[in-house]
């Protein structure tokens, strides 16, 4: 905060934490309870830490907190992490955080991140061939981040909507009982094309 003194910034942080904690428990409770109800129907492990809501980062932080408070820290994992961090520094890895994040995330999430990296590589390759200016590169990057963020936010809202429907016992019709893997692949390619086409569309508008 510009012009803010340390105590004002600390007070603002405390207010932000209290306000967020007083509001965020509602969607989190609906997500957990809704998934527990759906798990009773489908037969999977429901709730946070289950098959659908794995929450790996929250589980990792919870395990560390329990280890610190209870005095039963999993030291072998901590030591391995320290050794790996030293190795990353010696090897001068450009993005050690990405490597570490990929170690505790699920394969489905890592695969989605990998696909996103491929899409970013395609866009960067096209931009390099066109020899655009730095300003145009920034415009393409900002548009791409905006579109990708919209997909993430939309997926989260749809997930919360379905959790609320299950929580309030609203019957949701199964419009596609026999899902096809080929259809999923086609949808993935369509999304990939959109994530490439929309950001690069900024260049055409600026050239016109």
Same domain for 131 and 157, yes or no, is yes
Model-level pTM? Answer: 0.67
- Give residue for tokens 């209290």: 18
Same domain for 120 and 203, yes or no, is yes
What pLDDT shows up at residue 206? 55
Domain boundary residue, one of 76, 104, 132: 104
What pLDDT shows up at residue 202? 77
Write the pLDDT tens digit of every residue in 168-204.
877 777 766 666 778 888 888 998 999 889 888 877 6
Same domain for 132 and 182, yes or no, is yes
What pLDDT shows up at residue 121? 92
Q: Extract the residue ranges of the chain whose pLDDT is less than 70.
A: 1-4, 175-179, 204-208
What pLDDT shows up at residue 167? 80
Same domain for 111 and 96, yes or no, is no
What pLDDT shows up at residue 177? 67
Q: Number of structural domains, the chain?
A: 3
Domain with 24 in it: 1-54
Same domain for 205 and 110, yes or no, is yes
């Amino acid at each position: 905060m510009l012009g803010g003194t340390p105590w004002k910034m600390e007070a603002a942080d405390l207010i932000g934490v209290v306000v967020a904690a007083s509001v965020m428990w509602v969607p989190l409770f609906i997500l957990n309870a809704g998934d527990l109800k759906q798990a009773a129907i489908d037969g999977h492990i429901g709730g946070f830490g289950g098959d659908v809501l794995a929450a790996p980062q929250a589980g990792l932080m919870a395990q560390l907190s329990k280890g610190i408070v209870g005095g039963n820290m999993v030291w072998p994992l901590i030591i391995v992490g320290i050794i790996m961090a030293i190795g990353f520094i010696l090897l001068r890895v450009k993005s050690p955080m990405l490597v570490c994040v990929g170690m505790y995330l699920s394969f489905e999430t890592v695969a989605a991140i990998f696909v996103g990296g491929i899409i970013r590589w395609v866009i960067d390759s096209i931009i390099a061939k066109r020899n655009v200016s730095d300003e145009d590169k920034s415009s393409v990057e900002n548009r791409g981040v905006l579109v990708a963020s919209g997909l993430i936010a939309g997926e989260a809202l749809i997930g919360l909507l379905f959790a609320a429907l299950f929580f309030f016992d609203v019957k949701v019709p199964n419009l596609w009982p026999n899902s096809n893997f080929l259809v999923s692949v086609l949808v993935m390619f369509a999304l990939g094309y959109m994530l490439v086409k929309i950001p690069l569309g900024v260049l055409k508008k600026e050239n016109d």
